[in-house]
Chains A and B, each alone.
Chain A
Amino acid sequence: MVLRANQNSDADEAVLIIQPNRNLTWNQSKWLFLFFAFSIGLVGTYFYSLGAWLVLPFAGLEIAIVGIAIYCQSCCAHSQQVISIDETHVRIRDNQNVPAEKCFHKAWLKIIQNQDPKGWYPSRLLIGSHGEYIEIGKNLVEEEREMLANNLRSAIEGA
């Protein structure tokens, strides 16, 4: 998992980007899938032409599994939360599934790190106000979540 912090000094705005580590872009993932589909399809078609048509369903099934695996992993790897902090507001943009944005007034903002009493589960970092909270940094490890909470507190106090 990677935590990146950018400071946009011109606009007087602090931006924190939370995203997992990844190597492939969506486009590269698509090409990877196409490469697999083509190769497996080629093998299946060759044996179909020899009369071994029962290879085809297995090849098709495998293409589907490869596709699902690449898609699921890519979705997970491309989830992103962007937290923008300006003079008066904190905006949180979530790019996980449907992009959505939430805006909170800084004066009312609370940052809560909720620890599991039994220590079985990771802590949850919640940000919000007036009873409406959003979980951030869900895919971070404990130390990174702690660091994010501290960074946010200092950014909100300092901005």
Chain B
Amino acid sequence: MSTTTLTHDEAHHHEAPKGWRRWLFSTNHKDIGTLYLLFALIMLFLGGASAMLIRMELFQPGIQFLDPDLYNNLVTNHALIMIFGAVMPAAAGLANWMIPMMIGAPDMALPRMNNLSFWVLPAAATMLILSFVVPFFPGGGTQINTGWTIYPPLSVQVGMSMDFLIFAIHLLGISSVLASINIIVTLLNMRAPGMTLMTMPMFCWTWLVTAFLLILVVPVLAGGVTMLLFDRHFGTSFFDAAGGGDPVLFQHLFWFFGHPEVYILLLPSIGVLSHVIPAFSRKPLFGYKSMVGAMLAVATIGMVVWAHHQYTIGMSLGAVTYFMIGTILISIPVGLMVFNFIATMWRGSMTFETPMLFAVGIVLMFTFGGLSGVMLAVVPADMQYHDSMFVVAHFHYVLMPGAVFGLFAGVFYWLPKWTGHMYDEKLGKIFFWTNVIGFNITFFPQHFLGLAGMPRRIVDYNMMFTEFNVVSSIGAMIFGLSHLLLLYIVIKTIRGGKKAESRAWEGAKGLEWELDSPPAFHTWTVAPQIK
């Protein structure tokens, strides 16, 4: 056993640090959560700006101001920025802020790793943005016109911007894996005494499953893009049929990651809903155990049905049938979750504050997106819908309500806890309605465009599609601009407003509501005892 002299040689900060060092060297889960959320907000506006450009181009048939390659570059960057830059970091921000407070832990299990997993993100985002910008410079090569799926052989032929993208994906993967490991270790080892896995808040459960999914699928994507890099620069032929390779192999690698990624984006929002709906229905969540079971089923089945994105590549009948049945099976546990949310609301004393409005909107619109997903799961139908605007409409109906609106619900639900101020409820409701109406005007007509045969990822379209495209573009402007109101509400709430109580919402339950609003820099330094 070591003995010591009476000096101070240990470096443990207990006071809140000040200035830029507070953020750069932060190991505090709340600060890192704030950094994640801020980063996600910036990326949301970047990704949103590219979406607005896409819709402006599609406002009229013919080529307006974007050449076809640039249009596809924007499509690629919009998807990657939104998925990896906005939605995943925002969900990680909520996790960082809420998980330790919800389970009664003083911080994340590995705080330094937490810092690293965030600070890798800006580097990744820089690489991602460079992949878009580089082609504009002399010698920068061709634009990334592959879409976010970066399928070879096209991705092997693209200029150096693809290399930036590959390294950006690697960095994003490192960040995700580190964050996931941290979350898993925190949830499994740092719960307050008396809190079992089956009494853990549902948001924590959703993140446990999400983190596990991420850990399983990220190495596959990392391997896939590295093979792509090797094909591009080191003379290998993993995906080159002329050299004995198989371009379809990349599709399997990509979608083994890409399909569970959908659940990675969705599940944290399902977790948010599991808190928001009971709080504003003033009832406990209906079917906690079935909810956990459904989530595990979604994750398990979701891992093994990736090839439904590849029906048109010419798989064997047996394989196609398997992937079709598996995909349709997912609708059962997802339906169970939706049923549980509706059953929670049933005969509850419901009030419709902004988080609840988003929650109800999600239940309606996500179900709608799920139904068009069942249509796409059916092979003969998918053969018709494949690569049409119907697919664009479908995944936006799944991901916007299922992931983004869920995060909005979470932000409005926990904003009083984070800032210590109530947000402006009237503005919150205006934001909800403009956002939801704008969203539906944008994407609902795209179902009809797809069914009528308009292909996606093409800068021009036939005259017959003009009307619905005009409507869709007007909707996109409303939808996009409505997010400025979100920014205003958040800034206004941070700067002041009505003081929030510890339990900001009457029906809110959970350890996080036992803490002050805003919580102290260090919380749950003494673990609470759960009875």
Contact = CB atoms under 8 A, between A and B. Distances in A.
A119 B105 CA distance: 24
A94 B223 CA distance: 44
Contacts of B238: 51-52, 54
B109 A73 contact: yes
Nearest to A135: B4
A121 B189 contact: no
Interface stretch (B246-254, B312-320, B470-478): B246-254
Interface string B174-215: 000110011001001111110000000000000000000001
A122 B10 CA distance: 9
Given A50-B252, A51-B249, A43 B189 contact: no
Contacts of B249: 50-52
A116 B109 CA distance: 26
B526 interface: yes
Contacts of B21: none
Contacts of A138: 10
A2 interface: yes
Contacts of B215: 36, 40, 62, 66
A1 B526 contact: yes
A21 interface: yes
Interface stretch (B11-19, B278-286, B390-398): B11-19
A105 interface: no
Contacts of A109: none
Contact of B226 (A51, A58, A143, A144): A58
Contacts of A23: 188-191
A128 B252 CA distance: 64
B216 interface: yes
Contact of A58 (B178, B185, B188, B223): B223
Nearest to B229: A54
A133 B223 contact: no
B507 interface: no
B526 A43 contact: no
A131 B217 CA distance: 56
A47 B223 contact: yes
B266 to A, nearest CB: 21
Interface in A44-76: 44, 47, 50-52, 54-59, 61-62, 65-66, 69-70, 72-74
A142 B3 CA distance: 21
A55 to B, nearest CB: 3
B219 A44 contact: yes
Contact of B193 (A2, A126, A143): A2
Contacts of A6: none
A101 B223 contact: no
A112 B189 contact: no
A100 interface: yes
Contact of A122 (B4, B14, B185, B230): B14
Nearest to A134: B3
Contacts of A144: 525-526
Interface string A15-44: 000000111100001001000100110011
A19 to B, nearest CB: 11
B8 A58 contact: no
Nearest to B109: A73
A118 to B, nearest CB: 9
Interface string A104-143: 0000000010101001111010101000111100100111
B526 A102 contact: no
B222 interface: yes
Main secondary structure of the interface of A (DSSP, over half): mixed
B383 interface: no
Given A22-B189, A43-B216, A56-B223, A1 B4 contact: no
B220 A133 contact: no
Contacts of A61: 219
Given A1-B526, A50-B249, A58 B219 contact: yes
Contact of A1 (B5, B15, B106, B109): B106
B1 A92 contact: yes
A73 B110 contact: yes
A148 interface: no
B218 interface: yes
Contact of A62 (B1, B14, B218): B218
Nearest to A96: B1
B216 A120 contact: no
B177 A43 contact: no
Nearest to A61: B219
B189 A74 contact: yes
B426 to A, nearest CB: 41
B227 interface: yes
Contact of B223 (A52, A72, A128): A52
Contacts of B253: 47, 52, 55
A77 interface: yes
Contacts of B6: 112, 114, 126, 133
A159 to B, nearest CB: 22
Contact of A143 (B12, B185, B190, B526): B526
B468 to A, nearest CB: 41
Contacts of B13: 120-121
A2 B181 contact: no
13 contacts: A22-B189, A23-B189, A39-B216, A40-B216, A43-B220, A43-B256, A52-B223, A52-B227, A54-B223, A102-B1, A114-B6, A120-B13, A141-B106
Given A69-B185, A138-B10, 20 more contacts: A21-B190, A40-B219, A43-B220, A43-B256, A44-B219, A50-B252, A51-B238, A54-B224, A54-B230, A55-B223, A58-B220, A62-B215, A62-B218, A94-B1, A114-B8, A121-B13, A126-B6, A135-B4, A142-B14, A144-B525
